[in-house]
Amino acid sequence: MGGPTPYDPVEKLEVRMKLFDGGRAPNPRRVRVFLAEKGLSVPLVPVDMGALEHRGAEVAGRNPLRRLPVLELDDGTIITESIAICRYFEELHPEPALFGTGALGKAKVEMWQRRMELNLMASVAAAFRHIHPAMKEWEVPQIPEWGEANKPKAIEFLHLLDHELAEREFAAGDAYSVADITGMIAIDFMKPARIKVPEECTNVLRWYAALTSRPSATA
Amino acid sequence: MGGPTPYDPVEKLEVRMKLFDGGRAPNPRRVRVFLAEKGLSVPLVPVDMGALEHRGAEVAGRNPLRRLPVLELDDGTIITESIAICRYFEELHPEPALFGTGALGKAKVEMWQRRMELNLMASVAAAFRHIHPAMKEWEVPQIPEWGEANKPKAIEFLHLLDHELAEREFAAGDAYSVADITGMIAIDFMKPARIKVPEECTNVLRWYAALTSRPSATA
């Protein structure tokens, strides 16, 4: 896997850039789905996280936390954290608005993005990282008891979310947003974590089916 | 403790509101420090978290996650999540900008706000909640091994932060931001969690001393 893939901006960007990408991992995927929803194409530098390449000099020299994704601008400026990278693109390309519009709309997207991340994705990640044998080198020390404690936290949140989604189409209101991206990817992540959406959460299942049928879901 | 305290807007707000506040807990305090930096005064409804009042009907009816702070607008609209509430006020009162300015500035604040929260505050909170006997009813099950595993994570991040702060005054650059608020409060939270800033982290100590000397720190 070599350097950047071709760059095909939908509109002129002020700067050139490359995105160090981590494949199937949830956080790199959040940025790719976000870019797909924006209709943007950014040159990707693939990093093989399965081979722990994100701990190598190429990534660690740019992000001391040794995590992906990492966005590097042409002048060497680094932006890490998936949501920070998404916000950068939101500012450069405001349409479609994926962080909400107006003071209240933006607050609601922030609220739901955080709820999806801190209550669902974080619980699913803890279950996966502290229980799955493949994560032994990733999560030191692995504490299976903590992993197990997170499974009911994820389920409890899905029940709450189901109640909310009875009243509206998307997580933060009537428009698709970055909160839906985080939610969809957290639910996808439940498969390797061996947690299932409860059958009675019919609103969650309807919402998830709608999200995964969007072209961006394959990004 | 009764209803809202007097409301003294610096400029006219479009809506009236009340903020359900949780006293010394880190997340309610983040919003109060943010408001103090903005020069805003919002009517507070005190909730005694020590008496677990945040699990009562007044809070739970507004936030199913039963957490504070909770902002209620005059029409009953609810905004929860400290950072979402802060962003709401940032949109209504853009100056001073505490979420950054320009695409890159906003991305950097988001990046550092997340790093402070996910790598420092979350580690300190896990250490406190999973080890401290007073948290037995808050964190079920308490898993002391997980609490202990988080102490070195916090220390490792402080070393990383110290390296960064050698080059600049504030977390996200040359201007004070919400990332500094989260960082300051996370470090204050280290005391009950029984974690100390390493003596060699002189840049962190200089930065923390500057933050705590601001009038907003007492909010």
pLDDT digits (tens, 9 = 90+) for A135-187: 998 899 999 999 999 999 999 999 999 999 999 999 999 999 999 999 999 99
Question: Environment class of residue A43 by beta-carbon count within 10 Å: exposed (0-12), middle (13-18) or buried (19+)?
Answer: middle
Task: Give the residue carrying structure tokens 């450069």.
Answer: A92
Cβ distance B106 to A91 less than 8 Å, yes or no, reads: yes
What is the architecture, at CATH level 2, of domain A102-218? Up-down Bundle (1.20)
Domains of chain A, by residue range, sit at 17-92, 102-218
The phi and psi torsions of B79 (rounded to 5 degrees) equal -125, 125
* Average pLDDT across chain B, whole number: 93
Cβ distance B91 to A106 less than 8 Å, yes or no, reads: yes
How many whole angstroms separate alpha carbon A114 and alpha carbon B81? 7
Q: What is the pLDDT of residue B23?
A: 87
- What would the two tokens of residue B192 be? 């009950």
Checking ipTM against 0.90, whether it exceeds it is yes
- Dihedral angle computed from the Cα positions of residues A19, A74, A80 and A11, in that order, rounded to the nearest 10 degrees: -60
Of B88, B110, B143, the CB nearest to A149: B143
* Domain A17-92 CATH class label: alpha beta
- What would the two tokens of residue A144 be? 């299976």
pLDDT digits (tens, 9 = 90+) for B132-189: 999 998 899 999 999 999 999 999 999 999 999 999 999 999 999 999 999 999 999 9
Interface of B with A (CB under 8 A): 64-65, 73, 77, 79-81, 83-85, 87-88, 91-92, 102-104, 106-108, 110-111, 114-115, 119, 141, 143, 145-146, 149, 160, 163
Q: What is the pLDDT of residue B135?
A: 93
Closest residue on chain B to A159 (Cα): B64
Q: How many CB atoms lie within 10 A of CB B140?
A: 8
